[in-house]
A and B are shown apart, each in its own frame.
Chain A
Amino acid sequence: MNRIAVGVLVGGALGILDGLTAWFTPEARAGLLGIVIGSTVKGLIAGAIIGLFARKVNHAGWTIAFGTFVGALLAFFIAQMQGKYYLEIILPGSLVGLLTGYASMRYGRAPGSAAALR
């Protein structure tokens, strides 16, 4: 599986999980479905961007740092739309981006590898 695909898969999966953790914030439970959908879409977009970066740059450290930044940035936009829960959204969002970056580099196939050519 190439790095973009891994990024999208992991980003989307962690996005769902990240959205579901909003259940532990009582005030957010009423809008849980919207939060999960939004978090999933955020994860998919972040995963695609991070996967593309991983494919182009091909450096684990930079990809993890970039993933953390992208995760935090997208999470910031979401928090900005709501005007609240900045910390609860940005920190986990950064974590999702960090793990997506790591997974893209660790488990995604590098471009031009023998396996990729099959």
Chain B
Amino acid sequence: MVGGFGEVLVLDWGLAKIAGEPSASTVAGSARVGTGEGAVLGTPGFMSPEQQAGNSAAADARADVYSLGALLERLLGPEATPALRAICRLAMAERPENRYPGVLAMSSDVTRALEGGAVSAFPESALRRLLRLARRHRIAVGIVAAYLAGRGLIFLFTGR
């Protein structure tokens, strides 16, 4: 939700799991409700596999990474870059140990992807890296290309 002054408000903490608690519990409204093993709480398509299996004890920060990956995948349009799609695939890996270790790592990769930098989820070939750098520095590349093209024309017409 967006507040009256344009601030972002995060709502609906009803499914939040408190990390570090000796027993799994969720906060529902103002009361704590114990989450029984086998209980499945969440939105289909955005729950991690371990949450879908009712294994709430195994759900940790990497379950949030999964959910964020699912959200990002939903938001991406058809023009999404291969790097962003790779970030989604890594975040939504079946096993938690194959995902980003936490949200900050995923956030760093997304930031780098948006800035045109290299991302950890998307190994690049030398050619692909070169093309990415050319796109990132397209102004400099364009000026140099224009100079070389002009130089080529001069050589073509003068022979020198």
Residue positions of A touching B, CB distance < 8 A: 10, 13-14, 17-18, 21, 25, 87-88, 91-92, 95-96, 99, 103, 107
Contact = CB atoms under 8 A, between A and B. Distances in A.
A91 B146 contact: no
B160 interface: yes
A88 B160 contact: yes
Contacts of B150: 92, 95, 99
Interface string B138-153: 0110011011001100
A114 B113 CA distance: 28
Contacts, number: 33
B113 to A, nearest CB: 25
A87 B143 contact: no
A14 B160 contact: no
Given A25-B160, A87-B160, A88-B160, A14 B143 contact: yes
B154 interface: yes
Contacts of B143: 10, 13-14, 99, 103
Given A10-B143, A103-B143, A107-B139, A21 B160 contact: no
B158 interface: yes
Given A25-B160, A107-B139, A91 B144 contact: no
Size band of the B side of the interface?
10 to 19
A99 B160 contact: no
B158 A99 contact: no
Contacts of B139: 103, 107
B144 A92 contact: no
A36 to B, nearest CB: 15
B151 A99 contact: no
B156 to A, nearest CB: 12
A95 B158 contact: no
A91 B154 contact: yes
Contacts of B140: 13
Q: What are the 3 A-B residue pairs with the smallest beta carbon separation, nearest first?
A: A95-B150, A91-B154, A88-B160
Nearest to A98: B150
A96 B144 CA distance: 10
A21 B154 CA distance: 12
Given A87-B160, A88-B160, A107-B139, A99 B147 contact: yes
A29 to B, nearest CB: 15
B151 A92 contact: yes
Contacts of B144: 13-14, 17
A95 B146 CA distance: 9
